[in-house]
Structure 1
Amino acid sequence: MSLISLTWIFCAQIFLHYSLEISAEVPALIVFGDSSVDAGNNNNLSTIAKSNFEPYGRDFQGGRPTGRFSNGRIPTDFISETFGLKPVVPAYLDSAYSIKDFATGVCFASAGSGYDNATSNVLSVIPLWKQLEYFKEYQAKLRAYLGKSKANTVLHEALYVMSLGTNDFLENYYTIPGRSSQFTIEEYQNFLVGISEHFIRSLYILGARKLDLTGVPPMGCLPLERATNIMAGSSCREEYNRISRDFNGKLQVLIEKLNRTLPRMRIAYGNAYETVLQVVQRPLSYGFENAGAGCCATGMFEMGYMCNQRNPFTCTDATKYVFWDAFHPTEKMNKIIADHIVNNNLMVF
């Protein structure tokens, strides 16, 4: 084959790759939520809900802690990569990034946050309403960077991800006396769903048309909850799992309602519950050896500052563990969650 032919094939491949990139149906990934998807916004806050220190991030590119509550990447990083975007979604408050980086993806999530403002107040993190204000600020920057028409196209075609709710129950309702004295658990679930609806309608007014609303995981199977369930042999706490299922069911009803009533809006339900439960129940089938404790420290109680490089009990191979700390999945588990949501819920986009 001649040098001219090889050159032509090489140029054609570059052109094809470039054409696929610019014609992507999802030009950006925009993320709201809690520690399940926080890419490091909390690094800039005065809060104990941080993970920008070792051993967090030890399996991230370069082995550096980024503020992600995992040993590596989180689900939204994998989702972004699957849609042909960047392999990591940058945190909006990270000064290392600019609007050029945010044009194809940005994270407004904050570890410790929830639907309920009272949840965010517990650890002094970014409440959902503030995440929306940051998004409005981002829109203005994007229009200045891309021009109004192109920016509006990106904002309409972008995939929006919401992942939160666990903290509202475990960090707030069942820990702080305020909400539990105001609401029954079902009333509180309805209260949270109402906030979710208001937030989604606000996103819709601001241009969002594609949304993944991810439900809560089986909260009773988190290592922290299993460790305190001593009387039942440290098995999953069925009460919390039932609450997860009930709440997720209410979110699905909300999704059906909004898909009917918001013109050209398409909302998909991200089913993290079933994915995590299946892996916890059959860890060996997914290549895991431990589903009851986290890799970091003893894996039963530690997260955040209690999960640090001085703890001698941290495991050497996180790929054998479903959970990284007592609350958050490992990078390997995060990829399984992301792959399941993409293949079963997000292919409509």
Structure 2
Amino acid sequence: MRIHQIYIQIWTAAFVGCMVLDAAASSGEFARNGAIRENGKLGDHDAADISFLLRQPWNQQSNHRMSYYPAIFIFGDSLSDVGNNNNLVTLAKATRLPYGRDFPGGKPTGRFSNGLIGPDFLGHQSEYIGLPTPPPFLSAGNNILQGVCFASGSAGILNSSGNIYGEHIPLTKQVTYFANVRQELQARLGEEGTKDLLGKSLFYFNFGSNDYVTNYFLTNGRVPSLLQAQYTPSQFQDLLLSNFALRIEELYAMGARKMAIFGLSALGCLPFQRLIRNGSPTTCVESINEIVRSYNVALLNHVHALQAAHPDAVFTYLDSYRLIDSIIRQPSAYGLENVYAGCCGSGRFNGLPTCSVPRSYNVCEDASKYLFWDFVHPTSKIYKLATAKFWTGSYPDAIPYNLRELALAS
């Protein structure tokens, strides 16, 4: 057996061991420097952004005005999952406290954070879309007219990404599920009504993190993962993006016309990656962030190519990396005190996936002071900041449109 295969088996056994404890307990109940710097300075543009973002309300009741979009269809991973994985046989679940402790009602819902996440802020805020949060596909039933969330924790562009956790809904299956929803819409609205609804709806994509974190970068960097032995970073990037573009084309053929595509965040700054690669307390893993930045540039080029190929549709790129990099460089400007460790977890940087495993985790008192909630997911406060940024932001955060402009574009 080759050494990298032995390493993966050992690492996976340890990792799954932690997650099995959690499952057992449940059943019983961006393009800039990725280094963390303590004294970085922000330019005037960033300072103005911070002022705007921190003025946004946490939550408001809808004022019943007309929505910018008639429906929202969300494709993605745990960053957007509002409960699909609750219905799967998987170790990737967020169904035990302290997940959801700051969610309305104080109960876990399957969201991989302490509270509300991106789809919630986008839908609940009256000055944003003003629609209810799209229901998870696996429990949506007939509640599909205002959108559906297909996102699934541990899912990736590649079917194999996230397999170490168990069941998940990869991008290919999410597109298949959308085809089922489209058939149901057709039965209820007719072909013209369905075409009109889908043509005006928001299609929201955040994919790729698991293809790297739980696949390509699965090992500690000293021993290559199986995919690293097969593909150079450039080849793997091309593999991901060619598959991603195919799925976008399939959705376009089914009527999607307004598509927002998120770039990858600074994956080299995740507590988990810094732990397994023995990172320093105040720097990210720059070798990973360099690959992420290259991927994001190539993804933006694909967005431009899709736009050129389909002038009757509107595509936009949202730069997650840039926002997280800005937060890391000057956390105090965003009201944060810790961008190094997760609020909840164990090990260095709270980088082990033990949040919610009984007697196996530490948890901070105030998650709003943290960038990361657990080993890889942001806190609810960061989702709030990101939603405000991408609803009203400008170049280079949103290229060429923010989410509000995307709704009005034709």
Q: Which residue of 1 aligns with 2:404?
A: 347
**1:53 CA drift (Å):** 1.4
Residue 336 in structure 1 maps to residue 385 in structure 2: yes
- Whether the aligned pair in 2 keeps the contact of 1:158 and 1:208 (CA below 8 Å) is yes
Residue 52 and residue 146 in structure 1: after superposition, are their counterparts in 2 closer, same or farther (change >3 A)? farther
Q: Which residue of 1 aligns with 2:8?
A: none
Residue 30 in structure 1 maps to residue 84 in structure 2: no
Q: Which residue of 1 aligns with 2:249?
A: 201
- Whether the aligned pair in 2 keeps the contact of 1:227 and 1:234 (CA below 8 Å) is no
Residue 163 in structure 1 maps to residue 206 in structure 2: yes
Q: Which residue of 1 aligns with 2:374?
A: 325
- Find 2:331's aligned residue among 283, 287, 308: 283
Residue 231 and residue 248 in structure 1: after superposition, are their counterparts in 2 closer, same or farther (change >3 A)? closer
Q: Which residue of 2 aligns with 1:302?
A: 352
Residue 153 in structure 1 maps to residue 196 in structure 2: yes
Residue 312 and residue 200 in structure 1: after superposition, are their counterparts in 2 closer, same or farther (change >3 A)? closer
Superposition map of 1:119-138 within 5 A: 119-123=161-165, 124-138=167-181
Unaligned regions of 5+ residues in structure 2, if any?
1-62, 220-224, 394-401
Which structure's relative contact order is higher, taking Cα pairs within 8 Å and 6+ residues apart?
A: 2
With structure 2 as the length reference, what TM-score do the two structures score?
Answer: 0.75
Counting aligned pairs with the same residue, the percent is 36
Q: Deviations over 1:238-279 (max 9, x none)?
A: 111111110000000001111111131111101111111111
Residue 188 and residue 79 in structure 1: after superposition, are their counterparts in 2 closer, same or farther (change >3 A)? same
Name the structure where helix makes up a greater proportion of residues: 1
Q: Which residue of 1 aligns with 2:399?
A: none
Unaligned regions of 5+ residues in structure 1, if any?
1-16
Superposition map of 1:88-237 within 5 A: 88-94=133-139, 97-100=140-143, 102-123=144-165, 124-175=167-218, 177-230=225-278, 232-233=280-281, 235-237=283-285
- Whether the aligned pair in 1 keeps the contact of 2:73 and 2:201 (CA below 8 Å) is yes
Residue 69 and residue 35 in structure 1: after superposition, are their counterparts in 2 closer, same or farther (change >3 A)? same
Counterpart of 1:281, as a letter, is R
- Find 2:87's aligned residue among 21, 38, 44: 44
- Whether the aligned pair in 2 keeps the contact of 1:322 and 1:329 (CA below 8 Å) is yes
CA distance in structure 1 between the aligned counterparts of 2:250 and 2:123, rounded to whole angstroms:
23
- Find 1:316's aligned residue among 365, 375, 378: 365
Alpha-carbon RMSD across the aligned residues, in angstroms, is 1.9
Partner SS, residue 81 of structure 2: coil
- Find 1:262's aligned residue among 299, 310, 317: 310
Residue 326 and residue 215 in structure 1: after superposition, are their counterparts in 2 closer, same or farther (change >3 A)? same
Partner SS, residue 119 of structure 1: coil
**1:340 CA drift (Å):** 1.2
- Find 2:115's aligned residue among 69, 72, 88: 72
**1:122 CA drift (Å):** 3.4
Superposition map of 1:232-247 within 5 A: 232-233=280-281, 235-247=283-295
With structure 1 as the length reference, what TM-score do the two structures score?
Answer: 0.88
**1:160 CA drift (Å):** 0.4
- Whether the aligned pair in 2 keeps the contact of 1:226 and 1:237 (CA below 8 Å) is yes
Residue 293 in structure 1 maps to residue 350 in structure 2: no
Partner SS, residue 322 of structure 1: strand
Q: Which residue of 1 aligns with 2:53?
A: none
* Greater shift in the superposed pair: 228-237 or 169-178: 228-237
Counterpart of 2:383, as a letter, is N
Partner SS, residue 344 of structure 2: coil
CA distance in structure 1 between the aligned counterparts of 2:108 and 2:229, rounded to whole angstroms:
39
Partner SS, residue 32 of structure 1: strand
Residue 69 and residue 192 in structure 1: after superposition, are their counterparts in 2 closer, same or farther (change >3 A)? same
CA distance in structure 2 between the aligned counterparts of 1:314 and 1:233, rounded to whole angstroms:
19
CA distance in structure 2 between the aligned counterparts of 1:229 and 1:196, rounded to whole angstroms:
28
CA distance in structure 2 between the aligned counterparts of 1:346 and 1:336, rounded to whole angstroms:
14
Between the two proteins, the alignment pairs up a number of residues equal to 326
Counterpart of 1:182, as a letter, is Q
Partner SS, residue 93 of structure 1: helix
CA distance in structure 2 between the aligned counterparts of 1:150 and 1:309, rounded to whole angstroms:
50
- Find 1:86's aligned residue among 131, 137, 146: 131
- Whether the aligned pair in 1 keeps the contact of 2:200 and 2:258 (CA below 8 Å) is yes
Residue 57 and residue 207 in structure 1: after superposition, are their counterparts in 2 closer, same or farther (change >3 A)? same
Residue 324 and residue 233 in structure 1: after superposition, are their counterparts in 2 closer, same or farther (change >3 A)? closer
CA distance in structure 2 between the aligned counterparts of 1:312 and 1:116, rounded to whole angstroms:
31
**1:61 CA drift (Å):** 1.3
